[in-house]
Structure 1
């Protein structure tokens, strides 16, 4: 009978500790773990706004300036937020899905523990959610892990509905802000135009002028006619004095010349020469008229801006387009038991080899 050496029949203690014990613990752990189902969906936030052909528009899109890209990041952050969890768990969906007694104690969320319940649930929720946003394609991938296929599907579906509601809310807020700002500008422009028109009207009534330039033109034409008449009268007076010094018409013509001179001086005074002349009122009138014209132009621009804002609000409407609907998993994707056990065994072998070489080196050093 062949006798087996004693050291061959026994495994080294170091091998047992480094390889067999971790592998046994790994087998026990994966045996007790509950099956995990993964529901996956993909969506993109799109906006039907027209493509910009200019170089600046292309640079803005490359730099992430598009509104749909911003809203894509917003949905990413919202899904991983406490607000999303609170909305999702209003009917206890999350608490029931992860706190079911049928789930292994290694994976189950302990809802009975009152210490920091909401915060613990949020930390647990973050471990079960995976949101990946691709900036190049603007596609967001949502993966939900749960211990029942229906729970994983329902949580994924509700999160997509909440993401759509968020985008709609952002759209409504952006449209309201855009239109409200343009409306406020229009109301301000109306007030300025109204005040400018009233100021011009008050000045006309107070000074008794409609348009100083037109009135001055009329006055100058009248002065020109009076001067022509005065020249003709003086010419006639000179002729009478030269040929008929005793003509009774001479005093009449002299009086006529004096009256024409006074009338010309009076008309000239109305055009220029005193504080109430047309020349004095023209500067203030022109300033008020210019302000009224500028206010009217600003009012027209504000009306155009409001119309453009309404058109822009109709055109800039982002929406969530589902590329892949939430899947209802048929089999558990996790845990990968065989892979986990083999990885533990391989790592144990590596550790055992390193420790064996280390122990051998120490013994040789002592010897």
Structure 2
């Protein structure tokens, strides 16, 4: 409130120069006057004498006093200073809050970017193997193999029973050919799952590796997001506030100039000068007579 920035702000927003140069005001008290300079430094020195902000360390309260030639001007300048101070506090809070959460936000954004990269790799891998989900798409084939194994086992039991009960049954060759067909189909289906780079096994392994990476990154994103929320809560707890205990008051009467006090001071000063002069004259006369 008593800084150069505050004085500059009031000059531009509240026309402070005209406030201290009202028509009909005291030529000695106004600014500019005949004994002061016209630079900003001279104006700022004048401003510091008329705008006071004092902190009471006991109560922790600050008191702002603005002295101008009009009551309305004093109230208006005080309100403008409080508004500017509140804006400064808000800017400090925002800067402090941004510094507190920027690191957490950066970590969260990096984790999200890595997750997007893994998702792009999964999409590229699906296009490369021409499968949406090789693990799920292999399930029907495994189900077919299991069914063939079941039918093969039933056929084997039936064949063994015929060979034991009726070795000359004409169904025995039929069952043997059926067993061979089952073996051939099982071998063919199994070769599509295992046995080479074009089978399901390497495709499933590559796909599961990418899914595992995505799961890890999803957990990392969740942890980073939780850390960001915690940082926001911590930043909100550390905010500063400017609370107006009392609003800027409009004075009922002028506190300056202090007429009686000034007259008493002038009278006492002139009396002291008169007495000093009288003593000097009396001393000179005594010295001359001697």
Superposition TM-score, scaled by structure 1 size: 0.50
Q: Matched residue of 1:141: which SS?
A: strand
Q: Which residue of 1 aligns with 2:244?
A: 321
Superposition TM-score, scaled by structure 2 size: 0.60
Check the 8 A contact 1:197/1:292 in 2, yes or no: yes
Q: Does 1:222 align with 2:144?
A: yes
- Of 46, 51, 57, the residue aligned with 1:129 is 51
Q: Does 1:87 align with 2:9?
A: yes
Q: Which residue of 1 aligns with 2:288?
A: none
Q: Which residue of 1 aligns with 2:179?
A: 257
Q: Does 1:278 align with 2:207?
A: no
Seen in structure 2, the aligned counterparts of structure 1 residues 319 and 284 have a Cα distance that, compared at 3 Å, is farther
Q: Which residue of 2 aligns with 1:330?
A: 253
Seen in structure 2, the aligned counterparts of structure 1 residues 259 and 328 have a Cα distance that, compared at 3 Å, is same
Instruction: Count matched residues.
Output: 259
Q: Does 1:287 align with 2:209?
A: yes
Check the 8 A contact 2:75/2:248 in 1, yes or no: no
Q: Which residue of 2 aligns with 1:158?
A: 80
The 5-angstrom pairing of residues 25-40 of structure 1 reads none
Partners of 2:45 and 2:23 in 1: how far apart? 18
Q: Matched residue of 1:273: which SS?
A: coil
Q: Matched residue of 1:140: which SS?
A: strand
Check the 8 A contact 2:194/2:201 in 1, yes or no: yes
Check the 8 A contact 2:32/2:38 in 1, yes or no: no
Partners of 2:35 and 2:216 in 1: how far apart? 70
- Of 19, 37, 41, the residue aligned with 1:119 is 41
Instruction: For residue 118 of structure 1, report the CA deviation from its aligned partner.
Output: 1.0
Instruction: For residue 322 of structure 1, report the CA deviation from its aligned partner.
Output: 5.3
Q: Does 1:97 align with 2:20?
A: yes
The 5-angstrom pairing of residues 207-246 of structure 1 reads 207-241=129-163
Instruction: For residue 142 of structure 1, report the CA deviation from its aligned partner.
Output: 0.3
Unaligned runs of 5+ in 2: 270-290
Deviations 1:237-273 (A, max 9, x none): 4454556555544443333222222222233333333
The structure in which a higher percent of residues are strand is: 1
Partners of 1:244 and 1:150 in 2: how far apart? 124
User: Aligned-residue CA RMSD in angstroms?
Assistant: 5.2
